[in-house]
Amino acid sequence: MLGARAGGVHPPPIPAGRSLALPELLRSCVLPGCALTAPPSPLSTKTELPAPYGPWMEIAHDLPRLITSHRLRSHVHQMPQLSARHLRGREELHLAHLVLSFITMGYLCHFTWALGAGVLPQNLAVPFWEVSQALGLPPILSHADFVLANWRRKNPNGPLEIENLDTIISLPGAESLRGFILVTLLVEKAAVPGIKAIVQAIRAILQLDHETLHEALQELAEAIGDMTKALPPGTGRSLPDLSVSPRSWKDNPAMPGGLVYEGVSDEPLAYSGGSAAQSTVLHAFDELLGIRHSEESTAFLHRMRHYMPPPHRAFVEEIHRAPSLRQHVLSSGDARLCAAFNRCVSALADFRSYHITIVTKYIAVAAAKAKAGRAEPGDGPAAGKPPSALEAKGTGGSHIFSFLKSVRDTTREGLIRA
């Protein structure tokens, strides 16, 4: 056994007292378009692991067919157990994490839900655990895998636009899944000027430079507005089928016993699935603007930070330790700064409102279709379909509508009142 603790294992915490010099804040950013980016792209065009890991890649590239034909489990059971020691550098580790997390999700697509606790076979669980430990990530498909690492340029010299982008690994329903992943990626891309504006704003606060601070807040509000524009319109784009979407085995009524990682722990472990709540950008904006969510929402969001790559998590925590923007604006007595601050808060609330609209139109409709499908003769828990309690939850384990409305409302409360 590799000594995992039952009930879920968090990645290593940020060392106590760690402080990044201000110029390093931007270098900590690993979002698309920043100085660094989530491997394996675009800094690397690598989409294949070294030859010893061919068995993983063969299964990963054939996941849609293997899942729909119910042959994935037999292929995984025949897969040799490989060690992660031949992986070199973070790019190969990130690609390996992406590959193993997708294989894990596919393997669990045909989990018999009535059993209560799943078992991930040792030849998959052990290397997945090793790679996760090396990266400081949990052994589950997270937002960092699903979106930030799962893309490539079709033309390496072409623009970062949806027509020139594709996913690396997919699941059944490839086209709708591809659209969902790439649109989410473009929302992250739209946020990049806002991430840079955060650094500019904190520097301006420290230097008491109100003109630069005003410019930074204008850039932040514009970036958040561009994120809203990057979201899909109200019609014409579908999300992937929930039956193959990333799942959670924490706070999940379908898997109350969690998941046993064979060869890692005798006890089941519980992890939350990929969720937009694991994205760095909204955490960073909330910290800069001093948005204070409800106790329940805050606890969930802070738990989601354990699913971020460690440099992302460090970036958010450093913003939290920076001087308060809100207090600086209030004490300045500068009406322009107050108005610019409020534009940022309003833009963030508008983004969250539109996101609620998207979730309502697509996820709720998809959940209703899934429920209707289970009502057909012969369907039931033994058919491998999740219970209806999942339909009101996000993949991160949150009650999605109440959570999204709560964070939208508390964002609005962050406005500076006259």
Residue set of the binding site for heme b: 355
Cα–Cα distance measured from residue 9 to residue 11, given in angstroms and rounded to the nearest whole number:
7
Which tokens in the block code for residue 198? 């955060």
Spell out the residues 6+ positions from residue 335 whose beta carbon is closer than 8 angstroms to its own.
none
- Report CA 287 to chain centroid distance, whole Å: 18
Rounded to 10 degrees, what is the CA torsion of 292, 297, 299, 300? -130
Q: Which pair of structure tokens corresponds to residue 411?
A: 């964002």
Other beta carbons within 10 Å of 216: 26
Residue 111 has, within 13 A of its CA and on its CB side, a CA count of 28
Phi/psi at 120 (nearest 5 deg)? -95, 125
Rounded to whole angstroms, the Cα distance separating 339 from 334 reads: 9
Where is the binding site, in residues?
355
Residue 8 vs residues 97, 197, 268, 271, 408: alpha-carbon distances, Å: 18, 35, 8, 6, 29
What letter does residue 182 receive in the DSSP assignment?
A: H
Instruction: State both tokens at 188.
Output: 């992250």
- Residue entry with tokens 């973070």: 90
Contacts 24+ apart (CB under 8 A), 218-223: 218/340, 218/343, 219/193, 219/194, 220/194, 220/285, 220/288, 220/344, 221/340, 221/343, 221/344, 221/346, 221/347, 222/193, 223/190, 223/191, 223/192, 223/193, 223/194, 223/195, 223/197
Q: How far from 18 is each of 14, 15, 51, 314, 315, CA to CA, in Å?
A: 7, 6, 39, 9, 11
Neighbours of 175 (CB within 10 A): 10
